[in-house]
Amino acid sequence: MTPDSAAFPDPTVQPVPPSVVNRVDAADSTLHNPQRAVLSLGSNLGNRLETLQGAIDALEDTPGVRVKAVSPVYETEPWGVEPGSQQSYFNAVVLLRTTLPPSSLLERAHAIEEAFERTRDERWGPRTIDVDIVAYQGVISDDPVLTLPHPRAHERAFVLVPWHDIEPDGEVPGYGALVGLLPTVGDQGVTRREDVELVLPR
């Protein structure tokens, strides 16, 4: 993917079928005053696709959370390590509607990481799963426990590219529209995997 192709999405990408949208919108009726959240998922250990799907299913199984959209899968080289020293990442972005406050959603994200035996022994080390809250509604916060939006999201193609796929008019709070940010980050070695797919929970 080139910077130009990041700015202009693949015309073969199809929108979510209306039947799926209607089904997910109907599920929203079980939530009272839901808020919108964007989460980034990544895995470079074990069965990466299976782990990402398991994390998505676990989010959907969380009371007060509905998964609204799931991006295509992208493959990305690890950051901050010698080339070839780790397996590449599978990355995806999910859009949620949730009644959980940011702190509770963070607790749930950490619980999912723990369930998949995520370890934090070394910075930039390999991991079974990352579940990061990228944005929550339009909240901007410098709380060190949960900085919103994620402090590096606006610089990461592996976040911006899949997010743009499922929300072309999305914005990173405080930084601007995705369509404006994408040309500034280039492709960063992010490659769409046409041969694998994540499923929106039903």
Whether 118 is catalytic is yes
123 bridge partner residues:
none
Residues 6+ apart with CB under 8 A from 200: 16, 20, 24, 67, 69, 70
The tokens describing 33, both together, are 């005053």
Q: Would you call 157 helix, strand, or coil by DSSP?
A: helix
Whether 143 is catalytic is no
Q: What is the DSSP letter of 29?
A: G
Choice among 97, 108, 127, 192 that is catalytic? 127
Choice among 36, 57, 118, 193 that is catalytic? 118
Choice among 66, 108, 130, 187 that is catalytic? 130
The tokens describing 2, both together, are 């080139």
Q: Would you call 21 helix, strand, or coil by DSSP?
A: helix
Phi first, then psi, for residue 62 (nearest 5°) are: -80, 125
Rounded-to-10 torsion of CA 73, 113, 65, 6: -30
Q: Cis omega (within 30 of 0) on the bond before 83?
A: no
Which sequence positions are flagged as catalytic? 118, 127, 130, 132
